[in-house]
Amino acid sequence: MKHYNLKGNSLEWGEDVQFLSGTDVKVQVLVTILEEEIIPADSGRGKRMAAVLEKLAQAQAFANIDPVAWQREIRQDRELPDQGE
């Protein structure tokens, strides 16, 4: 889902504009009016997460975990539908 801004009776497409052939082309859109402003995904959360993951890597926090053994413990096989007997 993409987010755009509604100003007055016009939609602001930003840099994500999809040009239409011809000026009289009508395109059906669905607009939902949100109560709150959408916070962009890149508002710093990703950078903070990357910094935390870097600290974990430097501390070798997962060095004693065997990834294959961990996957075997976590994974739960189940029968697929219509595959039994």
Q: Is the pTM of this model over 0.95?
A: no
pLDDT tens profile 7-66? 888 877 766 666 665 667 777 777 777 777 766 666 678 888 899 999 999 998 888 999
CA dist 14 → 51, 52, 66 (Å): 30, 32, 46
Q: Give me the pLDDT at residue 17, please.
A: 63
